[in-house]
Chain A
Amino acid sequence: MSVVALPPAGSDQSAPETPASGPRRPSVLRSLGGSPSAIAAAVYLVVLAVLAVTAPLIAPHDPHAQDLAARFAGVSGEHLLGTDEFGRDVASRIVYAARISLIAPLISLVVGMALGVPAGLLAGLRGGVFDMVSARISDTLLSVPAIVFALAVIAVMGPSLTNAMIAIGIVFAPHLFRVVRGATMAVAGETYISSAQAIGASTPRILLVHVLPNIRAPLLVQATLLMGFALLAEASLSFLGLGVQPPDASWGSMLKAAYENQAEAPYSVLPSGVAILITVLSFNVLGDRLRDAVAARRSQ
């Protein structure tokens, strides 16, 4: 039921890891070991990524091969999840669509990171005019709903999945900016930053070598949560016909096609819908547990 909008720009996860002192504490990833749901989510996502990469090897059928005599065939040994309105094998299409459904959110994440992380690091460390200006730009982007902005970009550049995901990525940037800025500000007062500045380390060096490693946990939390959101955004845009264009398919466009044929094949909305649900749920659960792990580390 998630409508397309970003999760509220995080503030609670913006506190950084404190630099390791004394005996090394277990890494955030390792401290996830105590959460079965997080492990299940992580394992699922890894398996899904492997399936997507090896799709040509494991898909039982050509995802585009039509067999109009076997439209809406039920579940069978031949067709594990039945066939769609053109008699194409649904299981094979789900596996192939996983590629687009995973790559599309990655495009948004990369765009968002490329814009938000450097700006957040600089604003957090330097403050001043740069901080003020970038905070205003961030507020501006936050006041436009992601999908509305994506529609405007599509109007200019034409309907394509890449354009849409770049637009979503631009709207992500303020969320990453805020998290990175907050975390950097907290680290910026630490002695080792002042020491690095005192011995004449350049700003890029300080940011990359001293700040970035210490704020990667909150960044990872935000990135994981944004992946789930971007997947939903992709599905929604493809549902509107503004994302992936046929014959390519994502889970969103498969769900749209299934919906249009619901009268003939009522259960055909299940495979793609469930794939979206479980994948988004996995990103969200993993992100939430990571956030808990970061918070637990902080209070140690």
Chain B
Amino acid sequence: MVRTARRLATAVLVIWLVHLLTFLLIRLVPGDPAQQLAGERATAEEVALIRTALGLDDPLPVQYGRSLGALVRGDLGQSIFNGLPVVRMLADAAPATLSVALVALLFASLFGVGAGVVAGLRQGGWADRAVSTVATVGIALPSFWIGMVLVTFFALVNPWFPATGYAPLSEGGATWLRHLVLPGTTLGLAVAAEIARHTRGGVIDVLAKPYIRTARARGATGVRLVRGHVLRNAAIPVVTVLGLQTGKLLGGTVIVEAVFGISGLGSLAVNSALERDYPVLQGFVIFAAVVVVTANLLVDVAYGRINPKVNARVRSS
């Protein structure tokens, strides 16, 4: 309980610091922030409009108090460009992004764990070498290039999947999924490579443990050995990686949505950056931090579930 409470407090602290960071980022830049956002060719009226919209005329502490108060109420301000509430814009864009990320995560877990287990069980064999090579090359490839290749072969040459766009779940599960296969795979491949590397390492570590020898001596082989003894113990490093990859997935959607023409959070962020619409970017940064911090909290909880020793150690200390 104490441990969970402390973790929660740290999570809130990090979110607060991220908010402070985004608050200061625009205000500590040399020069007038309103002029910065309006651009060099803006008229005096446009600059004044932005200044009013962001409340930049008030003293800094007043601005900060207002901004923090709004955050606590779940208000992330309004877009400079169209005046819409940022929370609303994020909420509208989120389903597409979360769908892509979900498919990516599923793909990455399935292929990453599968490839990692096969490679780890046959260390040094051809499967191991193949998995390692693919993972090494995969990590060095820009995701947008992978996306382009997938579109070329699986949407243009063989019209199996749509090349671009997103279909909401309301248009039917099959249509929704068909639109997500290529972007999800693109986004998931790098994560799969990372998971495969860690699963392989975990499996190799576990196989060297005395309890595996004992289990083997008792006659456990094949699937029973792997399922009963190896997987659960090898899962711990993998779960950590999953937590760390959440940020990677969110950052990756920015690129993948551009390649596949999906209007999700990533496209919203890129367009807002081009339009210098800072409040939207600020909202996105805070949203991303909340997602990453929450994922890490969940990983912490999962540790205890997978490995009771973690809880026992904390209780005894």
Question: Which positions in A face B, CB cutoff 8 Å?
Answer: 1-6, 8, 136-137, 139-149, 151-159, 228, 232, 235-236, 239-242, 252, 255-256, 259, 262, 266, 269, 273, 276-277, 280-281, 284-285
Contact = CB atoms under 8 A, between A and B. Distances in A.
B96 interface: no
Shortest 4 CB-CB contacts between residues of A and residues of B:
A3-B252, A5-B248, A145-B251, A1-B189
B14 A152 contact: no
A280 B25 contact: no
A152 B285 contact: yes
A155 B281 CA distance: 7
Interface stretch (B116-124, B213-221, B266-274): B266-274
A37 to B, nearest CB: 10
Contact of A8 (B145, B241, B278): B241
B169 interface: no
A139 B13 CA distance: 10
Nearest to B149: A269
A232 B248 CA distance: 13
Interface stretch (B15-23, B83-91, B224-232): B15-23
A135 B208 CA distance: 35
Interface in B249-297: 249-252, 254-256, 258, 269-270, 272-274, 276-278, 281-282, 284-285, 288-289, 292-293
Interface stretch (B45-53, B136-144, B306-314): B136-144
B293 to A, nearest CB: 5
B180 interface: no
Interface size class of B (residues with CB under 8 A): 35 or more
A137 to B, nearest CB: 7
B145 A145 contact: no
Nearest to A137: B17
Contacts of B250: 145, 148
A148 to B, nearest CB: 5
A61 to B, nearest CB: 25
Most central of B13, B144, B152 by chain A CB within 10 Å: B144
B142 A235 contact: yes
A7 to B, nearest CB: 8
Interface string B158-190: 000000000000000000000000000011011
B39 interface: yes
B278 A4 contact: no
Contact of B14 (A4, A140, A158, A281): A140
B249 A3 contact: yes
Given A137-B17, A144-B289, A281-B136, A1 B247 contact: no
A262 B149 CA distance: 11
Nearest to A4: B251
A152 B13 contact: no
B244 interface: yes
B145 A273 contact: yes
Contacts of B255: 3-4, 147, 236, 239-240
B13 A158 contact: no
B193 interface: yes
B148 A269 contact: yes
Nearest to A266: B152
Contacts of A148: 250-251, 254, 269, 284-285, 288
Contact of A277 (B25, B141, B247, B282): B141
A1 B278 contact: no
A140 B19 CA distance: 10
B223 interface: no
B37 interface: yes
Contacts of A277: 137, 140-141, 145
A157 B140 contact: no
B22 A152 contact: yes
A12 B27 CA distance: 38
B26 A147 contact: no
B146 interface: yes
Interface in B27-80: 29, 33, 36-37, 39
A285 B140 CA distance: 10
Most central of A142, A151, A273, A280 by chain B CB within 10 Å: A151
A155 B277 contact: yes
Contacts of A281: 136-137, 140
B31 to A, nearest CB: 10
Interface string B230-248: 0000000000010011011
Given A140-B18, A259-B148, A242 B139 contact: no
A136 B152 contact: no
A144 B138 contact: no
Most central of A1, A139, A146, A147 by chain B CB within 10 Å: A1
B190 to A, nearest CB: 5
Given A2-B141, A2-B143, A236-B142, 18 more contacts: A3-B191, A4-B143, A4-B252, A144-B288, A151-B254, A151-B269, A151-B272, A152-B22, A152-B281, A156-B26, A156-B29, A158-B36, A239-B258, A255-B145, A262-B148, A262-B152, A266-B152, A277-B141
